[in-house]
């Protein structure tokens, strides 16, 4: 891939932790041809800044309050399909990675990685490439679409993680206890889990649930 030095890289950082946001902004701002045009602490704030400033790169955390990172990427792409999106997150489950890329992210970086990887990812996506580190690609390779949970099954799983029993889940979702039992059996089968506790642990590891 040939890179020319004349592209001005204008970055919007979306991160709800102020110290992390400051650190990322400092690293990016020190790079040649990179400017941090704005910083946002929420998805809603990012939408307004994106419309006003039209950055060509957005670095976004997945674990944002209210509007999560995946939903934000989808919303921003409706405003400008030419912008490039880089996820910078602690989430490294296969479902997290899959959903972010499906939403339109061009790169996926874990916060524990060296910041040089983030800088490299920014340059790569600006020049048209995508970037997912090899260790994350291997997680995606093991993902099976046939094991996906439906939206209702995810709701049931979230309530299971909160300690609710089948009757309580049924009341919460407005369905019968028999329907809940069916969803629970499907969840266990799709996650290859022996019981409800193991299903929650697998879901947390894969990124289907977050604490």
Domains, the chain, ordered by start: 9-141 (3.40.50.2300), 145-206 (1.10.10.10)
Closest C-alpha to 69, from 40, 29, 28, 34 = 40
Instruction: Please give the residue that has the higher pLDDT: either 109 or 134.
Output: 109
Q: How confident is the model at residue 142 (pLDDT cuts 50, 70, 90)?
A: low
Helix axes 196-206, 151-161, angle to 10 degrees: 110
pTM here is: 0.80
Residue 122 CA to residue 7 CA, distance in Å, equals 12
What is residue 124's predicted lDDT score, i.e. its pLDDT?
95
Decide: 158 and 30 in contact? Cβ < 8 Å: no
Strand partners, 12: 38, 58
Q: How confident is the model at residue 4 (pLDDT cuts 50, 70, 90)?
A: very low
What's the whole-number mean pLDDT along residues 120-148?
A: 85
Q: What is the pLDDT of residues 150-168, one digit of tens each?
A: 889 999 999 999 999 999 9
Decide: 125 and 90 in contact? Cβ < 8 Å: no
Closest C-alpha to 180, from 172, 193, 170, 171 = 170
Question: At a CB cut-off of 8 Å and minimum separation 6, what does 16 contact?
Answer: 41, 42, 61, 63, 64, 65
On the question of pLDDT at 146 being above 60, the answer is: no
Closest C-alpha to 154, from 100, 206, 97 = 206
Dihedral angle, C-alpha 152, 153, 154, 156, nearest 10 °: 90
């Amino acid at each position: 891939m040939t890179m020319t030095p004349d592209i001005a890289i204008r970055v919007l950082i979306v991160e709800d932790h102020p110290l992390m946001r400051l650190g990322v902004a400092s690293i990016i701002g020190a790079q040649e041809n990179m400017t941090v045009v704005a910083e946002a602490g929420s998805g809603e704030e990012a939408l307004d800044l994106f419309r006003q400033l039209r950055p060509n790169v957005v670095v976004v955390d997945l674990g944002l309050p209210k509007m999560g990172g995946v939903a934000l990427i989808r919303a921003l792409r409706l405003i400008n399909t030419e912008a490039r999106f880089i996820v910078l997150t602690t989430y490294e489950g296969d479902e997290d990675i899959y959903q972010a890329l499906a939403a339109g992210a061009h790169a996926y970086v874990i916060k524990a990685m060296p910041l040089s990887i983030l800088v490299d990812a920014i340059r790569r996506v600006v020049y048209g490439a995508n970037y997912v580190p090899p260790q994350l690609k291997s997680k995606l390779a093991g993902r099976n679409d046939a094991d996906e949970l439906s939206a209702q099954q995810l709701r049931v799983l979230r309530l299971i993680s909160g300690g609710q029993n089948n009757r309580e889940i049924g009341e919460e979702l407005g369905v019968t206890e028999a329907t809940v039992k069916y969803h629970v059996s499907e969840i266990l089968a799709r996650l290859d889990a022996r019981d409800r506790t193991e299903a929650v642990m697998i879901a947390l590891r894969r990124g289907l649930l977050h604490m």
